[in-house]
Structures are given as C-alpha cells and as structure tokens.
Amino acid sequence: MDRKTEEDQFSQNDAILSSALKQKMAYLNDLSESITKGNDLKVYELIDPNRFATEANGETLTETKPDHYGLASDLNAQLSHHLSDQLIDYLGKTYPFFYYHEYELGKFHIYFGNWWDHRLFGELDPINVRFNFSEEAYGMLAKSFQLELENKRVNDDEMRQLGEENEKLTQLIEDQDKRDQKKEAVRKQLKENEEKSPMPWEAGKVKEAHQQLTDALLELTNIDEQATNARPKIKENENKILALSKEETILNLEKQNIRASFGSFDAFNDSNDHLYAKYIQNLTAESQVKDDE
C-alpha cells in the first residue's frame, strides 16, 4: 500500500467517525431539546424510532432506523420520571380507576381504585408506555370475569365450606345439653352392666356390651372436646370469610370500574395491548392542535 492510499483510508475513516459522532451529538441534542420543550412525542421517537414508526404510525420499514437510545439509557430513571407526568395525565382520563405511586425515581406502582385496601396491581413503565400487571392480581381479576359468566365467584366454594363448618360447630355447641343427658344414660347403663354377675355362658355378651358402652361414652366426650374448641374456631372461620368477602368486594369494584370505562374485560385488554400506539397518536393529535393555535 502506498502512502497516499493509506492516508486516504485514514481520512475516510476519520470522516465516518466524525459523522457518526456528530450524529450521536445531534441525537443527544435533539433529546435534550425535546425534554426542555416538553415535546414528549419527539422523546418517544428518539427512544425507539423503529417501534415509533411501525406501531404508532403504521409504517412498514424496509430497513431498521438507527437507534441511539443506548447513549441515554443510563438515564432511564430520570427519563421515566419526566415522561410519567404527561402519561399519567392521559391515563387519568382513559383509566380513571388506576392510581400511581412513584416508589423510587421513575418507578411507579399501580393501584386499582382508591377504595379501602385497594390492590397493588402492578407497575407502570412510562418509557415503553406499558402496564406490567402483577400476574397474581391480574389473574384473579381475569378469573373473576371468567367465573361471572357461570354466575360464580372466585371464593364461593371456600366461603360456603367455611360457612357450613361454622354451622356444624354451632350445632355442636347447641347440642351440649343433649350430649350431657346421653352421657348420663350411658354411665347409668355402664353401672348396671358392671353390677351384673353373669352366668359363664353370658359373660362374653356382657363384656361386649360393656365395651360398646365405653366406646359410646368416649365418642361423646370426644365431641364435647370439639365443642369446647368450637368458639375460637368459629371466630377464626368468620375472619376468613370476612377476608374472602373483602376480596370479592374488591373484585366487584374492579369489574364495575372496568365496565364503566371500557364496557368489557376484552375491551380493557385490547386497550392495554395498544396503549403505546394510542398514546402516541394522542400526543400527535395534541401537538397538531398546538401547531394550529
């Protein structure tokens, strides 16, 4: 290689490098400027230009667009905090039943409703405009919607079972007098049995009767013991039933709210799946209104 070609190659390389750096600087400038101006639409384009083009604007890309987000991704928390401001305003109108708590910079818990003991329902991801619902919380709601079609509730079986158990326990307590009378009778029979001096050929029979009576007495005292422990057990079951009805009350409120805003659970899910596109379109519409002014 002669010296000239070598120099050319070097200068060409420098030109590429310099242009690439300029592109990056332009990217960071753009990002910085969009943030100062509050142009979240542009920020979203800069964060993920490919998703922005395809998902929000419905473009079909022949080649992927350059994505420089890696340059700013260490500022995720701050960016997320910045973007949450407008996003939560928007969600306040479209998902009026969700409440957010920024538990650390840029990270948001979602609460369903502001009623007593509302459920922590997942997290909000402002950078990706996405709900990350807790599997457990969402799963229970989905199940509740599902069971509703069969006229059932999530906790029906368990509540019925606890209710029946409490009825039985109450009965045990109420039957104490009857059992006391029975025990008295059995004891009397036992005494009579023991006072017998049977003929040898009847001894087996008398012994057998004695065993039966002893067993019957034992059985009755066992039930007595259950009855003695019944009250705390009933209270415990009542508390369980209360917790389960609370859960049902909460699920009911969640379902009511979803119906009021979306009509159905399917429509709610569909809206969640297209949240990014809908939000970007909303920002676009808003920026056009601003331009027109």
Residues engaged in binding another protein (CB under 8 A): 114-118, 239, 242-243, 245-246, 249, 252-253
d(CA 238, CA 36): 57
Residue number, 229 or 249, with CB nearest to another protein? 249
Tokens at 71, concatenated: 């340059």
Tokens at 21, concatenated: 């750096």
Q: How far is the CB of 239 from another protein (least distance, A)?
A: 6
According to DSSP, residue 125 is labeled E
Tokens at 177, concatenated: 């007098």
Closest-CA residue to 125 (of 111, 110, 114): 110
Strands ordered across the beta sheet of 107-112: 98-104, 107-112, 119-125, 130-133
Residue number, 22 or 231, with CB nearest to another protein? 231
Residue number, 37 or 101, with CB nearest to another protein? 101
Three-state DSSP class for residue 131:
strand
Q: How far is the CB of 117 from another protein (least distance, A)?
A: 7
Residue number, 48 or 247, with CB nearest to another protein? 247
In total, the chain counts a number of residues equal to 293
Q: How far is the CB of 176 from another protein (least distance, A)?
A: 25
Residue number, 16 or 242, with CB nearest to another protein? 242
Q: Are 77 and 103 in contact (CB under 8 A)?
A: no
Three-state DSSP class for residue 95:
coil
Query: 97 to each of 106, 118, 138, how far by Cα in Å?
Result: 21, 11, 14
Q: How far is the CB of 101 from another protein (least distance, A)?
A: 12
Q: How far is the CB of 76 from another protein (least distance, A)?
A: 30
Residue number, 32 or 245, with CB nearest to another protein? 245
Tokens at 30, concatenated: 């753009």
Q: How far is the CB of 24 from another protein (least distance, A)?
A: 47
